[in-house]
């Protein structure tokens, strides 16, 4: 099984040499775990203690420190790789091997290392503790939030009752050190000024905690859900702070490494392994020209030939006419720009135009969704837009010249994030439709639809979906699938919110069905329930459902065993059962999340058992 990355932080260090300070804090951390004091004069140190292994190696201006520790169900590997430079960098990662999920948090040496110099993420100062923000510092802090080079999330803690939020801020800062920054507003006056500058949709107040992702500009921010708040009532629940810390670390870990770090990291590893000379470190972070792919260059030339505008034919001069009033310029066609405007910044311009055009399409789609008759119409509009986004990207990627893949990937990530925001907004609109239907019903107007009182739940991750389902859905039993769900949350933090929304809709539909089936109101199966979809039923599209697995899967223990999940003895005397029915949260692609369940709503327990929520399980195609 491939290791799962739990934490990643890129620390920019201007001080040289880095190894002196890094060695000191790592040695102290290792000694707290029982290791002897490492000899700083040796280029390589290798110690073992109580099943753990510590390896500290350096050569010239680079080095690597690795600690492997046994944990329940596997091993935990903490690694710090560094390279001196102007500034240099330290890449800290934590990986887990095995199925058990330990606490996701910063390694213990990181706060001490952040105190040794002015360490940054490339844009803002990374501190080792929660910062207290006074009223006269709010404008300065706003410049930190909007710094375009910022990579890590910033957590803002508003004033609460007593010292609760002071303690919460300190715990969050320790857990997310290096991967985030935590700021605590000093008082209500500071909170009022901060919120006035941020605007209502991006405010944080009354003891709430809000995480501001990067990049961020309150003047142009159109997706407030990118910056999730957590209300005081939620903060009092068990595991609330861990959920915030997971989100911060997940966002930071999902960031691509800067190009100079990406190209110099392999050089460092080769030098440490003795497969490259130390001289290769010189200039390892210098920008390198992007090689030209001859096939792509030929494709670009052919496209240009097809779209070149003919030169105007010669004509006799005519008398000058008054210059007409200027007309507004139309939005450029990205494909035409690719064909007619080659240049070094071409890919950046294409990506910028695509994102701008898609934002307008998103506004249009949500406008149509707001006027739709039902919640299903809302989701249909957004799904149609998703297909449009995918189609446009496929059209542009082949036309882009060599060297534009990085910028197009950035544009694609922005589009995916905006699509996730659109799905979230659509679900909110759907809940509002239900609330309006209930209000009309109470006033004597006959309408269909079941309203949901209060604010609609909008899951930020699959893990949060499971927590909410266990506390709210009385006809469902959620099995021990948290580790698999968290792996997906970390694998793709952007898409995980879209999957979480689909999973929550499916869980609501299953709970509604189980309630009706166990009470005798409905006699069919879940597929029949979703096929009809009339009245006040919560349903999901039947295209997301598969009620059976193929015989090649169920008849082979290699594939049926991973689909065997625990159930009570009333359901099966062996205490476990092969679950074939599943919901496809993503039809194709990688990852392709699945949610497996067993329906006993018509049996002795009257419940549905969800055994698994995670990545696609192995089958004949994957093995």
| CATH number, domain with residue 207 | 3.40.30.10
- 83 with 186, same domain? no
Q: What tens digit of pLDDT does each residue of 518-576 get?
A: 998 888 899 989 887 665 678 888 888 999 888 888 888 888 999 999 999 999 999 99
Last residue of a domain, one of 254, 289, 304: 254
CA 154 from chain centre, in angstroms, equals 15
Tell me if 328 is assigned to some domain.
no
- 106 with 162, same domain? no
Proportion of the chain above pLDDT 70, given as a percent: 70
First to last CA, the chain: 14
Q: What tens digit of pLDDT does each residue of 463-500 get?
A: 889 988 998 899 999 999 998 998 888 887 778 888 89
Q: How far is CA 74 from CA 52, 170, 358, 558, 592, in A?
A: 12, 30, 44, 22, 25
Q: Which structural domain range is residue 584 located in? A: 462-614
Last residue of a domain, one of 442, 476, 500: 442
- Answer yes or no: is pLDDT of 327 > 70: no
- 472 with 605, same domain? yes
Half-sphere exposure of 33 (CA within 13 A, CB side): 23
- 562 with 580, same domain? yes
Tell me if 456 is assigned to some domain.
no
Spell out the residues 6+ positions from residue 304 whose beta carbon is closer than 8 angstroms to its own. Answer: 339, 340, 342
How much is the pLDDT for 329?
42
> Rounded to whole angstroms, how far apart are CA atoms 253 and 250?
5
Tell me if 184 is assigned to some domain.
yes
Tell me if 197 is assigned to some domain.
yes
Q: What tens digit of pLDDT does each residue of 408-432 get?
A: 555 555 555 555 556 655 655 666 6
- 76 with 166, same domain? no
Phi, psi dihedrals of residue 269, rounded to the nearest 5°: -65, -35
Q: What share of the chain is helix, strand, coil (3-state, %, to 5)?
A: 45, 15, 40
- 473 with 603, same domain? yes
Q: How far is CA 11 from CA 88, 118, 146, 564, in A?
A: 8, 10, 19, 43
- 79 with 151, same domain? no
CATH of the domain at 73: 3.30.530
- 243 with 263, same domain? no
* Domain count of the fold of the chain: 4
- 539 with 590, same domain? yes
pLDDT, mean over the chain: 79
Mean pLDDT of 218-234: 85
Tell me if 125 is assigned to some domain.
no
Residue entry with tokens 């605007």 = 199
């Amino acid at each position: 099984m491939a290791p799962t990355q739990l934490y990643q932080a890129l620390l920019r260090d201007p001080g040289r040499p880095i190894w002196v300070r890094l060695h000191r804090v790592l040695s102290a951390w290792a000694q707290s775990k029982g290791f002897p004091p490492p000899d700083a004069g040796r280029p390589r140190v290798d110690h073992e203690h109580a099943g753990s292994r510590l390896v500290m190696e350096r050569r010239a201006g680079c080095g690597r420190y690795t600690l492997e520790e046994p944990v329940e169900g596997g091993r935990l590997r903490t690694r710090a790789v560094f390279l001196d430079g102007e500034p240099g960098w330290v890449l800290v990662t934590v990986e887990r091997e095995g199925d058990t999920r330990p606490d996701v948090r910063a390694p213990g040496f990181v706060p001490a290392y952040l105190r040794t110099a002015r360490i940054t993420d490339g844009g803002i100062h990374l501190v080792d503790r929660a910062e207290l923000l006074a009223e006269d510092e709010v404008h300065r802090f706003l410049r930190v939030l909007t710094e375009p080079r910022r990579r890590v999330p910033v957590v803002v803690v508003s004033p609460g009752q007593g010292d609760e939020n002071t303690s919460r801020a300190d715990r969050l800062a320790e857990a997310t050190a290096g991967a985030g920054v935590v700021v605590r507003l000093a008082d209500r006056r500071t909170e009022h000024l901060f919120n006035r500058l941020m605007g209502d949709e991006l405010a944080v107040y009354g003891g709430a905690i809000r995480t501001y992702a990067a990049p961020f500009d309150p003047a142009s921010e159109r997706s407030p859900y990118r910056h999730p708040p957590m209300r005081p009532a939620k903060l009092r629940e068990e595991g609330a702070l861990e959920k915030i810390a997971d989100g911060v670390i997940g966002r930071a870990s999902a960031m691509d490494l800067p190009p100079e770090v990406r190209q110099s990291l392999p050089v460092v590893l080769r030098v440490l392994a003795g497969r490259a000379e130390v001289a290769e470190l010189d200039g390892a972070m210098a920008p390198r020209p992007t090689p030209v792919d001859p096939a792509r260059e030929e494709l670009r030339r052919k496209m240009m030939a097809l779209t070149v505008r003919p030169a105007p034919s010669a004509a006799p001069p005519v008398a000058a006419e008054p210059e007409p009033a200027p007309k507004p310029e139309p939005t450029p066609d990205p494909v035409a720009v690719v064909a007619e405007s080659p240049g070094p910044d071409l890919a950046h311009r294409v990506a910028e135009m695509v994102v701008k055009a898609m934002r307008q399409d998103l506004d249009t789609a949500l406008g149509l969704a707001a006027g739709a008759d039902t919640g299903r119409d809302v989701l249909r509009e957004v799904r149609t837009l998703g297909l449009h986004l995918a189609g446009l990207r496929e059209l542009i990627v082949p036309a882009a010249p060599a060297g534009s893949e990085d910028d197009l990937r950035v544009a694609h990530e922005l589009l995916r994030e905006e699509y996730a925001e659109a799905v979230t907004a659509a679900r909110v609109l759907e809940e509002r439709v239900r609330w309006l239907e209930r209000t009309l019903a109470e006033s004597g107007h006959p309408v269909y639809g079941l309203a949901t009182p209060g604010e609609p739940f909008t899951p930020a991750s699959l893990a949060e979906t499971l927590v909410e389902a266990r506390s709210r859905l009385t006809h469902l039993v959620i099995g021990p699938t948290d580790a698999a769900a968290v792996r997906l949350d970390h694998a793709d933090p952007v898409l995980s919110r879209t999957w979480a929304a689909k999973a929550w809709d499916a869980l609501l539909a299953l709970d509604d069905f189980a309630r009706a089936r166990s009470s005798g109101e409905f006699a069919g199966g879940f597929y029949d329930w979703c096929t009809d979809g009339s009245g006040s039923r919560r349903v999901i599209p039947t295209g997301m459902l598969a009620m059976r697995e193929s015989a090649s899967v169920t008849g082979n223990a290699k594939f049926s065993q991973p689909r065997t999940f625990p159930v009570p003895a009333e359901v099966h005397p062996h205490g476990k059962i092969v679950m074939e029915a599943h919901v496809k949260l993503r039809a194709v692609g990688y990852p392709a999340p699945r949610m497996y369940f067993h329906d006993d709503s018509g049996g002795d327990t009257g419940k549905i058992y969800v055994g698994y929520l995670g990545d696609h399980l192995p089958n004949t195609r994957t093995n």
